[in-house]
Structure 1
Amino acid sequence: MKENYIIAGIQQVGIGVEKLYEAWKYYIDLFNMDIRILEDDKVAELMLPYTGGKPQRRHALIAVNMQGGGGFEVWQYSERKPKPLDFTLNMGDLGVLICKVKSRDVAHTFEEFSKNPKAHILGGLNKNIDGNQTFYVKDPYENLFQIVQDDYIFKDEGQSTGGAVGVTIGVTDIDKAMTVYRDILGYDKIIADETGVFPDFEGLPSGTQKFRRRLLTHSQPRKGSLSELFGPSYIELVQVLERTPKKLYEGRFWGDPGFIQVCFDIRNMDALRKKCAELGHPFTVDTTQNIKEGNSFDMGDAAGQFAYIEDPDGTLIEFVETHKIPIAKKLGLSLNLKNRDPEKPLPKWMLGMLRLMRVKSSKI
């Protein structure tokens, strides 16, 4: 394998909930996240730094939208009572604040959501710092989603929205955070860097305060087996300037309610481990040290390896090196990615078979 690691894109944004199927049904109905890639109800044995030093059983599933973008990993503790955030999340707090959802026509999506009783819109239709239209919604579990303009479509299904196209992350120092988001994750292109009070934030908690915002993307197209499904993505860093932010997972476990992490699909975990360590962000969890099934970690219907790092404020970034994914579970079909060219995307017709794993919300 080549010496450098490859990032194919945002694989998923983790969302901790208290009622998994209820939440997933909501995400299908509003965001069309109806392709179930995998589902797993096992003990998380290797996340001890973030689960109180004890293995914890959890039930999780990953679902995607066939129009492209990353998925949602909907996540619930199976035996432990989840601990919700015990204060009101405010913009600029430290962690993943917002999941960005792609739309090819934000104004049309706003009109559509305005008629949908399940869509709790915060504020109105506004301009994002990149000059494009945008708006925000809040789910029933207090999670914030931003609808953003993105023209990339993997498979046109006539839907208003696609999948996750990025996240907004609260940091204490934008420039310091660039070591992770630019130098490790490859978000090397600054789309906008603005300081002030922003109209599109006005409907958000403490959104009328003064912030510095930097919107990033990657200058080079992503490569890798699943890169065409994920498409381009964005990271927005937000630094509040008039108060001391709080850590969203202070005193709570990985998987407690809220946005847990942003996860990247990668190849060459060894090279990535070396790079992260050199830049002062070593792996805090690394399944390659606990190999199962030869050299893959069993993840239910899928297999691979995963690792975590923390950004300077402790926000979790996950890396998954996918070795096997199901493409038509009912037919017993799966793809082994280990021996494929790590830079070459899978054919669209092959990934298109994922539609055979579509689940209707009425069947949940």
Structure 2
Amino acid sequence: MQQLVTGIQQVGIGVTNIDEAWPWYRKFFGTDIPVFDDEAEATLMTPYTGGNVHSRRALLALNLSGGGGFEIWQFKSRQPKKCDFDIQLGDFGINAVKIKCKDVQKTYHQFKNLGNKTLSELHELPNGELTFWTKDPYHNLFQIVKGNSWFKKGSHFTGGVCGAMIGVSDIDAVLPLYTIALGFEEVIYDKTGTFTDLDDNQKFRRVLVRKKQKDIGAFSRLFGHIDIELIQSIDRKPRKIYDDRFWGDPGFIHLCFDVTDMGSLQEKCEELGYPFTIDSASSFDMGEAAGQFSYIEDPDGTLIEFVEAHKLPIFEKWGWFINLKKRNHNKPLPNWMLKTMSFKRVK
């Protein structure tokens, strides 16, 4: 099967102040490599910003140990609107972001030593592995899990993003998007009931699907495996997390996959009833980086982004960029080349 999706490139996180948010993410998740820091108008996103063009600042930061990054996103032309209700698991949208580590118990104590006051207890997942939960200063929920794919030995105790928990109304309806179009081959668990790791008496159905890391795609070794957990509330009627709010408002605004062939992916998505709602159509400049991007919506309106990278900065102050359009899209970049991004590290 053609590998169209090679990893999670990033999760978009809407914040009110990037300069305040990024140090927290560096401290706890090691996302200290800036890929770009760009201010511009989001001209193509008007379907999700009230029909008006808004200006924004966006900063993409990675953890070179492995995993996807954070696109930390801030409106510059309007006051962001926070969610006016307490988000519960099963609400429609991205409920939590999964962060990988090598040792969950050790990482738990490292978080405690750093003064994190939002930690849950250690719990077992439905497959028996350990996990714990934490929140950032903006009440976004993160789940720490054991990761099985790593790129570079790093000093930080976590890697980057390895997945997400997404609230849906009907798991069976949305599952083909991941298994057929996006190529998730393995079902890790499919359980219905109450769960101790959720610290909740509510009943859910939970399905975790995994896409293993393969050496296909420029950044596949860096991004590693992907875990998507779909969660469906059985006992209550969930709410849409971004109801009456804009893309870019505080919270998890989108989940972004790195892709190798946008045209083929578009065909697969359309066959399943997921047309592109946004399509940059050609290369789109993000300051130091460039690529083609598109969006689809899942049946509950959660935004899924796809990016086919065209240009990557290595030593931009010396004018060294990688032109990915001139390479075989399925061929991984040499490890040494990706590791040179460590020279951009921000402490």
Give the TM-score range, shorter chain.
over 0.9
Which residue pairs with 2:190 in the alignment?
193
1:307 to 294, 300, 303: 294
1:332 to partner: Cα distance: 2.6
- Does residue 1:269 correspond to 2:262, yes or no? yes
Which residue pairs with 1:145 in the alignment?
142
Q: Equivalents in 2 of 1:59, 1:153: separation in Å?
A: 30
Q: Equivalents in 1 of 2:99, 2:3: separation in Å?
A: 26
Check conservation: 2:6, 2:217, Cα contact below 8 A.
yes
1:233 to partner: Cα distance: 1.2
Does the C-alpha gap of structure 1 residues 328 and 272 become closer, same or farther in structure 2, counting only changes over 3 Å? same
Per-residue CA distance 1:271-300 (angstroms, 9 max, x = gap):
111111111000000110xx4xxxx11111
Partner SS state of residue 259, structure 2:
strand
Q: Equivalents in 2 of 1:104, 1:5: separation in Å?
A: 26
Matched letter for residue 346 of structure 2? V
Which residue pairs with 2:124 in the alignment?
127
Which residue pairs with 1:102 in the alignment?
100
2:61 to 47, 55, 63: 63
Check conservation: 1:61, 1:73, Cα contact below 8 A.
yes
Which residue pairs with 1:76 in the alignment?
74
Partner SS state of residue 142, structure 1:
coil
Matched letter for residue 167 of structure 2? G
Per-residue CA distance 1:107-157 (angstroms, 9 max, x = gap):
100111122224521x20111122111000011101000000013221101
Check conservation: 2:118, 2:135, Cα contact below 8 A.
yes
Per-residue CA distance 1:185-243 (angstroms, 9 max, x = gap):
212310001111111100xxxx3211110111025736200000000110000001000
Check conservation: 1:16, 1:256, Cα contact below 8 A.
yes
Check conservation: 2:209, 2:227, Cα contact below 8 A.
yes
- Does residue 1:347 correspond to 2:334, yes or no? yes
Matched letter for residue 311 of structure 1? D
Q: Equivalents in 2 of 1:273, 1:214: separation in Å?
A: 25
Which residue pairs with 1:160 in the alignment?
157
Q: Equivalents in 1 of 2:216, 2:126: separation in Å?
A: 27
- Does residue 1:241 correspond to 2:238, yes or no? no
**Percent identity of paired positions between Structure 1 and Structure 2:** 50
Per-residue CA distance 1:48-74 (angstroms, 9 max, x = gap):
110111111010100000100000000
Check conservation: 1:93, 1:171, Cα contact below 8 A.
yes
User: Aligned-residue CA RMSD in angstroms?
Assistant: 1.4
Per-residue CA distance 1:328-361 (angstroms, 9 max, x = gap):
233332111112111111110010001011112x
Partner SS state of residue 154, structure 1:
coil
Does the C-alpha gap of structure 1 residues 208 and 327 become closer, same or farther in structure 2, counting only changes over 3 Å? farther
Does the C-alpha gap of structure 1 residues 219 and 113 become closer, same or farther in structure 2, counting only changes over 3 Å? closer
Check conservation: 1:222, 1:231, Cα contact below 8 A.
no
Does the C-alpha gap of structure 1 residues 219 and 19 become closer, same or farther in structure 2, counting only changes over 3 Å? closer
1:5 to partner: Cα distance: 6.2
Which residue pairs with 2:317 in the alignment?
330
2:248 to 244, 255, 260: 255
Check conservation: 1:190, 1:216, Cα contact below 8 A.
yes
Check conservation: 1:306, 1:320, Cα contact below 8 A.
yes
Task: Choose 267-276 or 133-142, whichever is displaced more.
Answer: 267-276
Partner SS state of residue 134, structure 1:
strand
Matched letter for residue 247 of structure 2? W
Partner SS state of residue 82, structure 2:
coil
Number of residue-to-residue matches in the alignment: 347
Q: Equivalents in 1 of 2:72, 2:215: separation in Å?
A: 25
Q: Equivalents in 1 of 2:47, 2:211: separation in Å?
A: 31
1:223 to 196, 216, 231: 216
1:91 to partner: Cα distance: 0.6
Per-residue CA distance 1:294-332 (angstroms, 9 max, x = gap):
xx1111111111000011111000000100010123333
Which residue pairs with 2:278 in the alignment?
285
Check conservation: 1:67, 1:163, Cα contact below 8 A.
yes
Does the C-alpha gap of structure 1 residues 119 and 338 become closer, same or farther in structure 2, counting only changes over 3 Å? farther
1:14 to partner: Cα distance: 0.5
Q: Equivalents in 1 of 2:201, 2:249: separation in Å?
A: 28
Task: Choose 3-12 or 108-117, whichever is displaced more.
Answer: 3-12
Runs of 5+ consecutive residues of structure 2 not aligned to the other structure: none
Check conservation: 1:5, 1:271, Cα contact below 8 A.
no
Task: Choose 218-227 or 14-23, whichever is displaced more.
Answer: 218-227
Q: Equivalents in 2 of 1:229, 1:258: separation in Å?
A: 25
Matched letter for residue 70 of structure 1? G
Runs of 5+ consecutive residues of structure 1 not aligned to the other structure: none
Q: Equivalents in 2 of 1:87, 1:220: separation in Å?
A: 37
Check conservation: 1:8, 1:224, Cα contact below 8 A.
yes
After TM superposition, the runs of 4+ consecutive aligned structure 1 residues lying more than 6 A away are none
Check conservation: 1:222, 1:232, Cα contact below 8 A.
no
